[in-house]
Structure 1
Amino acid sequence: MKQFSSKRSIQILAHLLKEYGIFNFVISPGSRNAPLAIHFSETDEFNCYSIVDERSAGFVALGMAKSEKKPVAITCTSGSAAANYYPAITEAFYQNVPLLVLTADRPTDFVDIFDGQTIRQKDLYSQHSYGDFQLLEDGKENADEQNFDLIKKAIELCFEKKGPVHINIPLEEPLYEMVSELPTFPPVEKTIQKKSFEIPSNLVAEWNTSKRIMILVGTRDYSEELEMQLSQLVKNHSAVVLCEANSNLRNENFFSHIDRYIYNFSEEDYKTYAPELLITVGQNVVSKKIKQFLRKARPKNHWHIDEVWQPDTFFSLTEKIETSAENFFSKLLNFAKLEPQPFYNLWDVLRDKKDLKHQEYCLLTNFSDFKFFESLSSKLPENINLHFSNSSAIRYAQLFDFNKNKVYCNRGTSGIDGSTSTAMGFAMRNKNQTVLVTGDLSFFYDINGLWNNYIPPYTRIIIFNNGGGDIFKIIPGPSSTNALDEFILTKHHKNAELLAKHFGFGYTKVDEEDTLLRVLENFFKPDLKAKILEVDTSAVENAEVLKGYFEFLK
């Protein structure tokens, strides 16, 4: 016989989640949230996942939400457990990934009286959530009606903003009273708002009179519609489209390796290649050089297109266009003049020159992080879900071609803390193979991302282990300090072999190029369990190889 929680607030919550189609539920263990764990695990419609570490659980849910492109609910017990969600919530906030965060709490009278596992949970995430709600305890007057309205508002806000929304749920003891039958709740009238958009005539005029148009696409999910729209805009060389690996765009007329082209720009180059009209799409851009370039360029007009975020990243924003990129360009294409412009040819000549230099350097380079990424780009199967960790991994990815796959990276806050957990959460809800490419520090930092029973056997993890945070040898500054090795780079001699065995992964280690190429031939093929490949480059001065690359491009 099924047993459900007797808590009316939990029954109402489950009813509304079903009404809005939120069925994936990540549960971390505890007693205060036991009514939620009992209720949702006993309800057939919900897919429940047990993730012990709340910090990892938040990122696992984020990966699931990115995979399915709809909200995922997470729940934990009270106290510091709720605080451990915060890194994933900030990432979801800046990526616009919908998480419904359900924190169980002590009754409101227990806060700040030194009761166990009790902190100030109300509005805990207010700086990085799109809404914060606190339910009434079941025994309070009009609790059912108010909680129904609050939960409904929270869920709709999560859909509208595509980001994290918090519901704090004070629960009185007893926590383990159950019922075998549920009450009937009233039907839900959904009131999610959708904004209409018509393109202003002044924007059409700006496009049609601009001779130097640049479209810069940052981090965003793959969109066939947007890819087709931008392809139409560049077909006649009317505009320059710059994109990155995690922009998920594919067209030979797009400029896909920004740093390859602009890394060694002189002051004169900054003027020569500057746009008159800049249109930005998507979110965080990896390349620091493009930020420096466009901040110096100060384009006459800068439009940013996004439904939620309108950041003035380049200190030149003139138009905040609050709609989807697909909606905007569908309207623009009805009016835009698509005439060939010398500006495109200018960039095209630059590209040909730098691409040739890139190919020459690849032939000169021996086994290293750089060579690993070159080899990986040629050996990956098509149509996989390719996740990169932050720091070096996503930066190396910009230099090579990974556009036959969908690329993901946590660039909302750009931290290394949840890359593995995010990729594993994505893999749990996706039928296609997920491959995580991660640096050693990012992998070791987030090993609890492997601590669950749901990772599909076709999941693959590749660790390039250079013996520390090699990014700090690449960027200017850290190498000039005495603190580099121990406190910044955090040099180490660890490997993942025993961790792989502990978590039930297959494991292979390589430390030279021929073996790497041979292993990559079979690494992605089906197997009975998930696998880890560790590429040990710790004996190589990888930072010098990469610095040599950019010097060679001059």
Structure 2
Amino acid sequence: MDNQTLTLNVHRLISGLVAQGVRYFVVSPGSRSTPIALILAERVKESTTLQLYVDVDERSAAFFALGIAKTQQVPVVLLCTSGTAAAEYLPAIAEANLSHVPLVLLTTDRPLELTDIGAPQAIEQTDLYGKQVKKAWRLALQTPGPTNAAFVSFQSQRSVVAALTTPQGPVHLNLPLRKPLLPDLNVAPPQLKSLRVAPVKKELTTAELSRLKQELSGKRVLIIAGPEETQTYRTVLLTLSRQCHWPILADNLANLRGTNTVIAHYDLLLRLFPNLPTTLQPDVILRVGGTPVSARLVRWLAKQTLPVYLIGAQRQLADYSYATSEVIAADEATVLTQLAANLPQQASDYLVRWQQYERRLVASLPPVVELNEMTLIQQLDRSLPANSHLFISNSMPIRDVDDFYSGRQMRELVCNRGANGIDGVVSTAAGMATSPGQHYLLIGDLALFHDMNGLMMVRRYQLPLKIIVINNNGGGIFSFLPQAQAKAHFELLFGTPQNLDLKQVAALYQLSYQRVKTLAEFKQALADQVQFIEVLSNRRTNVEQHQALLRRLRSALQDD
């Protein structure tokens, strides 16, 4: 068979993706994806702007791509062979869908005559990902003729546009291919008719702005900033907060902590006062960003009957507190800029009261003397360089960071808070570490075990990722949950100790290793740029230390 049609259409597919801004490709090699992988490798070799990563584990590859797209705010393309290889993408796709990360999934497939008829490495791949993707299409790369050629060129560009259109998310292109699969590498790429899509940023109308200004003026306004999905509105949000003296309850993933109008330790305050002191009660709430890490904050929100405005086109009423009274489905930066330009300075007494509580809470925290799961966070806050990136695992690490990270320096904190899983954490952090700068991963031993394959990408590409593993030999969060009362089966079903030898894990992937037992050792290991730091912890002791801290805080603030 003459493979010129296949070769030209693969070029059109790649050219279309590149024309719409794709620069990163993550490939998991296999037989059926041969023509695309080979031509892609040739195109990357001849380019100064394209980057190709190869990850033989599709599950890891998808999270690796997620890490690149999430932290660099760019679309990333994944390519795999047919069969269960494509199914391995699903966990990362679910995360990308919920956290609005633009991925383009290229799954090669057996042709129609080899589907559902007993052929090897063939599963039904049409609509494989269901509702987890925004769009799913099929391209016939071996169909000749100018109409199909134009369709491939157009649809490849359309797939990136769809991934980037608000709300952003993953899209799927399924590519059935017949043998022979080898392309002609001597064929030059055909010219592409590029598609231009003008960005649209919805803003408030004059009437809408006037109404909102009236609603907010002279009121005690509380801003709740959840995990950010774009980095476009930080500066103007802080400007509005300072100008109007509105406190911001900033999730650690909002990347706002460390400025004077930001309240960082609100979750600890809600542990002590689930309904908040009367002097801290707002008249109006403005929300930006995703769902907060703090479940206590969401529970408090659920009890509110006051106006709650949810700003942002991405969220689409994703509010399980059901507290939202109005959605402002417009670009956050645009709306906040409009408000800052039209609202006069407000009274500062409400902000001052929040700041007073924040200072008292911070002053009541125990001194950082012994190394444990709480003081580790405080030491990271003191030690990590400004502008570094910290990827945080779900489960206990993200909760402790939310409680004990103050933001002494401006850093980028990242976590997979779409589906909140502990799978794919290492691979996502490795994807993050492809960007310039200094990169760190905070993870527990069980999450590490779920995704040890991701360490191969750190080794293969010599990524500058420093890994801090809290080893409490199991699932530490369950010791805080009601399941801890099921003592007869707790270790078997919830504690799940794996008894990992982390020194051997580090050695397998050729990473420098150190186990630390004191804060001084931990601080020195960070300064020495040790690649794999193990911090031993005990699950039962950790619970007792958290409980003792709450007793200390309750005693310090008992008169309120």
> Normalized against structure 1, the TM-score is what?
0.91
Which residue of structure 2 lines up, in the alignment, with residue 447 of structure 1? Answer: 452
Which residue of structure 1 lines up, in the alignment, with residue 53 of structure 2? Answer: 49
Structure 2 residue identity aligned to 1:489 = G
Cα distance, 1:253–1:186 mapped onto 2, change above 3 Å? closer
1:546 lines up with 2:551 in the alignment: no
Greater Cα shift, 65-74 or 461-470: 65-74
1:262 lines up with 2:259 in the alignment: no
CA contact (8 A) 2:5 2:143 kept: no
Cα distance, 1:240–1:178 mapped onto 2, change above 3 Å? same
Structure 2 residue identity aligned to 1:393 = P
> Aligned match of 1:204 in 210, 213, 217?
213
Q: How far apart are residue 241 of structure 1 and its match?
A: 0.7
Structure 2 residue identity aligned to 1:258 = Y
> Per-residue CA shift, 1:474-516, capped at 9, x if unaligned?
2344444533211112123213111111111111112334433
> Aligned match of 2:286 in 270, 279, 283?
279
Which residue of structure 1 lines up, in the alignment, with residue 558 of structure 2? Answer: none
Cα distance, 1:146–1:539 mapped onto 2, change above 3 Å? closer
Q: How does 1:80-479 map to 2 (within 5 A)?
A: 80-139=84-143, 142-161=147-166, 162-199=168-205, 200=208, 201-208=210-217, 211-220=219-228, 223=231, 226-235=233-242, 238-249=245-256, 250-267=258-275, 269=276, 273-307=280-314, 309-358=316-365, 361-362=366-367, 366-398=370-402, 399-402=404-407, 404=409, 405-428=411-434, 430-452=435-457, 453-456=459-462, 458-479=464-485
> Per-residue CA shift, 1:166-216, capped at 9, x if unaligned?
11111111111424022523421313552432341322221125x221111
Cα distance, 1:270–1:117 mapped onto 2, change above 3 Å? farther
Structure 2 residue identity aligned to 1:128 = Q
Cα distance, 1:127–1:403 mapped onto 2, change above 3 Å? farther
Q: How far apart are residue 341 of structure 1 and its match?
A: 4.8
Percent of counterpart pairs with the same letter? 28
> Per-residue CA shift, 1:263-282, capped at 9, x if unaligned?
12155x37653332111111
Q: How far apart are residue 320 of structure 1 and its match?
A: 1.7
Structure 2 residue identity aligned to 1:205 = Q
Greater Cα shift, 7-16 or 231-240: 231-240
Cα distance, 1:243–1:304 mapped onto 2, change above 3 Å? same
- Number of matched residues? 539
Cα distance, 1:172–1:234 mapped onto 2, change above 3 Å? same
Which residue of structure 1 lines up, in the alignment, with residue 522 of structure 2? Answer: 516
Q: How far apart are residue 549 of structure 1 and its match?
A: 1.5
Q: Distance in 1 between matches of 2:82 and 2:120?
A: 9
> Per-residue CA shift, 1:301-336, capped at 9, x if unaligned?
333323453323321222222222211111111222
1:39 lines up with 2:47 in the alignment: no
CA contact (8 A) 1:220 1:248 kept: yes
> Aligned match of 1:74 in 68, 75, 78?
78
Q: Distance in 2 between matches of 1:383 and 1:136?
A: 45
Q: Which runs of 5+ in 2 are unaligned?
A: 555-560
Structure 1 residue identity aligned to 2:95 = E
Q: Distance in 2 between matches of 1:403 and 1:58?
A: 33
CA contact (8 A) 2:65 2:78 kept: yes
CA contact (8 A) 2:283 2:306 kept: yes
Q: How far apart are residue 112 of structure 1 and its match?
A: 1.5
> Normalized against structure 2, the TM-score is what?
0.90
Cα distance, 1:403–1:483 mapped onto 2, change above 3 Å? farther
Structure 1 residue identity aligned to 2:267 = D
Q: Distance in 2 between matches of 1:191 and 1:233?
A: 31
Which residue of structure 2 lines up, in the alignment, with residue 528 of structure 1? Answer: none
Cα distance, 1:259–1:460 mapped onto 2, change above 3 Å? same
Structure 1 residue identity aligned to 2:501 = N
CA contact (8 A) 1:474 1:547 kept: no
CA contact (8 A) 1:305 1:321 kept: yes
Q: Distance in 1 between matches of 2:58 and 2:501?
A: 25
> Aligned match of 2:504 in 498, 501, 506?
498
Structure 1 residue identity aligned to 2:548 = G
Q: How far apart are residue 431 of structure 1 and its match?
A: 1.8
> Per-residue CA shift, 1:213-267, capped at 9, x if unaligned?
11111111574x6333233333356322110221111412210222122212155
SS of the aligned residue for 1:48 comes to strand
Q: Distance in 1 between matches of 2:319 and 2:375?
A: 36
Cα distance, 1:414–1:79 mapped onto 2, change above 3 Å? same
Q: Distance in 2 between matches of 1:403 and 1:420?
A: 25
Q: Distance in 1 between matches of 2:291 and 2:367?
A: 28
Q: Distance in 1 between matches of 2:488 and 2:5?
A: 58
Greater Cα shift, 153-162 or 177-186: 177-186
Q: Distance in 1 between matches of 2:287 and 2:79?
A: 36
Structure 2 residue identity aligned to 1:470 = G
Structure 1 residue identity aligned to 2:289 = G
Q: Distance in 2 between matches of 1:466 and 1:369?
A: 10
Cα distance, 1:110–1:299 mapped onto 2, change above 3 Å? farther
Q: Distance in 2 between matches of 1:517 and 1:414?
A: 29
Greater Cα shift, 198-207 or 231-240: 231-240
What's the Cα RMSD here? 2.3
Cα distance, 1:121–1:540 mapped onto 2, change above 3 Å? same
Greater Cα shift, 394-403 or 452-461: 452-461
Structure 2 residue identity aligned to 1:196 = K
1:63 lines up with 2:50 in the alignment: no
Q: Distance in 2 between matches of 1:296 and 1:456?
A: 49
Structure 2 residue identity aligned to 1:472 = F
SS of the aligned residue for 1:297 comes to coil
SS of the aligned residue for 1:436 comes to strand
Q: Distance in 2 between matches of 1:12 and 1:299?
A: 54
Q: How far apart are residue 422 of structure 1 and its match?
A: 0.6
